[in-house]
Structure 1
């Protein structure tokens, strides 16, 4: 919308001087913005607070209350210090009970997948080694990425692989490639099965900043043990934005759901990790 655009003519907003006792002024602003969003007025950009104050002739507090309501409704999103924008990105869907690639799922949704590689090295981690049925001092390849979908943060991903299997991956640029493709091509390892736990969590302040999450948006914590022909080869933890991700289960009349939502710890997970 152009900077000099005016509020909706079909849903006039009373000025501060005409505020009624029954309806707070911010609700008028919220309702008008909601209607404008529904009409697609903000396809290219969404006005900032100063521009909205000028359009509606109200205080910054009134604008912020209206925007807060729209964020809670999932109609706009905004990280600290950034201008609000309409929520138009498709939600990334992952199949439950299937071996999937987040890379492929993002691109299947029509979004470009990019990663910011935060760490790629060889290290030891006693807790992970035990999960992989190895000695605590076993060398592990560690890959940590901030996953982006359409240029926006989607997930914080940490992967451990046995160094004996995956040392060749140290030379890979993981900014735009799929881990499982590289693992198969360079190391001859194809994941065949595994186990996974998906849990809703409240992100820490540091995680909110990393994923640019609004304070009222939860996240999914995903823990995965990947196997190749019955041998554990991968331990992965992923924190993924709850407003950009959904898990989908398939069912039929005979087999029913292949999904266990029981509140019990999966056998392979071991002690609950500290968050």
Structure 2
């Protein structure tokens, strides 16, 4: 596919024209094997290195084009796929796709939160362990994750380092239990300015808001909210003649976002 050289009389910034054409070529899967360097692209489009750098910046910040030290840039095609109906692990999902998973811990403390306490069936003044993380897949942010657990059982988690581990794994090792079943509500949302900055997406980008309550027998022990980038995650379901289509939903809209696969019961 041939690059469309930008017009200097079109009334649109050169870098925007170049960026638009690069997205066209990316969508056409022209750069599956490799993505050209900045210098090569600048020559191809007949623009300066500075203009090309401006055109590439949004693609890099959104994770569409990635580059690691010592490696050539490439177009990210791996999006994370999650089956509906499994007690899944975002940690395991990322690693099963061959990507490096890690987290920046934004908060790990004991606090009161009446809304979270209500979801857990506790009094508004109940003490809760709160864990907030920015989750990464390779070098790009994937999700903002916040979890609340009853402090009476989860206090040992305050000593854990969540940089390279899953919450459910730490729960199993430190307190001897983790959710065996759960309920989730998945909703399409647009990110706020602060959320977009943390997840390195364009302003008001689409995302999934996932609200989970995890249970052990009849006791709720986890309330979680997760914001996942819409360009890197999708959900799937299974059906058969015997079971039918097993997927409950709130018909307030539709979503068509294409994603890593995870198994039931894996640590999250």
Which range, TM-score by smaller chain?
A: 0.7 to 0.9
CA offsets 1:161-198 (integer angstroms, 9 cap, x no match): 00011111111100000100111111011311111001
2:102–2:137 CA contact under 8 A, matched in 1: yes
Equivalent residue for 1:5? Answer: none
CA separation in 2, counterparts of 1:12 and 1:109?
32
Equivalent residue for 2:237? Answer: 249
Pairing 1:47–2:29 present: no
1:16–1:58 CA contact under 8 A, matched in 2: no
Equivalent residue for 1:120? Answer: 108
Which of 56, 76, 80 is the aligned partner of 2:45?
56
Q: Describe the shift of the 1:186–1:64 C-alpha distance in structure 2 as closer, same or farther (beyond 3 A).
A: closer
Equivalent residue for 1:166? Answer: 154
Q: Describe the shift of the 1:62–1:171 C-alpha distance in structure 2 as closer, same or farther (beyond 3 A).
A: closer
Which of 53, 78, 88 is the aligned partner of 2:60?
78
1:223–1:236 CA contact under 8 A, matched in 2: yes
Q: Which has the larger radius of gyration?
A: 1
CA offsets 1:140-163 (integer angstroms, 9 cap, x no match): 000000000012100000000000
TM-score (norm 2): 0.76
Equivalent residue for 1:11? Answer: 2
CA offsets 1:58-109 (integer angstroms, 9 cap, x no match): 48999699879xx8xxxxx3328x9955532411111111101110111011
TM-score (norm 1): 0.74
Displacement after TM superposition at 1:262 (Å):
2.6
Q: Describe the shift of the 1:205–1:14 C-alpha distance in structure 2 as closer, same or farther (beyond 3 A).
A: closer
- By relative contact order (CA 8 Å, sep 6+), the higher-ranking structure is 2
Which of 182, 194, 202 is the aligned partner of 1:214?
202
1:112–1:150 CA contact under 8 A, matched in 2: yes
Q: Which sections of structure 2, spanning at least 5 residues, go unmatched?
A: 67-73, 253-268
SS in 2 for 1:190: coil
1:96–1:248 CA contact under 8 A, matched in 2: yes
CA separation in 2, counterparts of 1:99 and 1:12?
45
